[in-house]
Amino acid sequence: MKYLTPEAAARIRALKVRSSPFRSGGTLEGRHASAFKKGSSQEFSQYRQYTAGSDTRFLDWKVYARSDRLFIKEFSLQNAVSFHLILDSSASMAFRGPDTSVSKWDYSARLALYLACFLMARGDYAGLTVFSGAGTASVRPSGDPRALTEMDALLAGTGPSGDSLPPGPFKKIAAGLDRNSAAVVFSDFMAPPERLAVFARLLSSFRGKTRAFRALDRAELELPWEGNAVFKDMETGEEIQLSPAALREDHGREFAFWLKRTERLFSVSGVRSFTAFTDVPPFMSLEKLIGIF
């Protein structure tokens, strides 16, 4: 897989399982460390084929004796939470600065898949949706680790394009989420102010809980280029010639103001947010992202 190697998956599954405060009234009340526990003496849910890393305590040996194939019994609790990981696949997410090894899209995709792996390891469901003005695609929430391969394929096959945070497609995505679920949005949130305000209102109207992760490239803050440079808007195609050195100080202040304004907008909407630059190790960002749950 492109974004989730076996070594990374093993490291993620070794992380301490943390309880989740996500509650929406009803089935989430009283939730404990694993909302969807395999073999929990609760209601039988389904069989799934054994894969490396599955808990062997719940192998059904009777089925093995009949079919010579290994299957795991899964049991569900009524208070299971489905996490919907929603990635902005707009054109601006393809940006990568001169001193950075990954784009904002690749960084967000890797972090989202790491988070999905963590959620499944602790017993939750995780699903994936990518969207922009160019279209929408998704993988339905699942507790089966094999779904991570499908998610990885979707992310690897997505080329960022289209407008940022179009309200129409996201409104349809939000309408499909039930109250017994949570959403985590991955984006750079580089959209016009009025569109970002609409997006924040849509997030706040969601019946479940929401979190926002913003990926940024340090070059967007520091403008490291020298001499005159032509800057091109990755979504509109508009070009403008500027001197980065002449703008660097003022741009830094404006960029910091934009960050605070966006954080305030999310805070007022009841959405906790977290920002990371793409030169930060993804496992460090994963730990911090888990921390805002």
Segment-wise mean pLDDT, segments of 10 residues, the chain, 293 residues: 94 74 38 37 61 70 79 62 94 94 97 96 93 93 94 96 91 81 94 90 83 96 89 86 90 93 90 94 94 79
What's the rounded Cα separation, in Å, for the pair 63 and 192?
57
**pLDDT score for 33:** 37
CATH ID of 82-218+272-291, from 3.40.30.10, 3.40.50.410, 3.40.605.10, 3.40.50.720: 3.40.50.410
Backbone CA torsion sign across 232, 235, 236, 237: positive
**pLDDT score for 32:** 33
Tracing tokens 């970002």 back to the chain, one arrives at 196
CB-based contacts of 223: which residues, under 8 Å, 6+ apart? 244, 245, 247, 248, 251
**pLDDT score for 259:** 93
Beta bridge partners, 272, equal 211
| C-alpha distances out from residue 224 to 189, 217, 221, 227, Å | 22, 11, 9, 10
Contacts 24+ apart (CB under 8 A), 284-288: 285/111, 285/213, 286/12, 286/111, 286/114, 286/115, 286/118, 287/15
Task: Write the pLDDT tens digit of every residue in 100-112.
Answer: 999 999 999 999 9
Backbone CA torsion sign across 99, 102, 108, 114: negative
| Coil vs helix vs strand at 23 | coil
| Coil vs helix vs strand at 211 | strand
Domain boundaries, the chain: 37-76, 82-218+272-291
What's the rounded Cα separation, in Å, for the pair 180 and 108?
25
| C-alpha distances out from residue 198 to 38, 195, 205, 213, Å | 40, 5, 11, 17
DSSP string covering 72-134: EEEEE-TT--EEEEEEE--GGGG---TT-SS-HHHHHHHHHHHHHHHHHHTT-EEEEEEEETT
**pLDDT score for 45:** 59
**pLDDT score for 4:** 96
Tokens of 118: 């963590």
What's the rounded Cα separation, in Å, for the pair 224 and 97?
9
**pLDDT score for 263:** 92
pTM of the predicted model as reported, rounded to 2 decimal places:
0.80
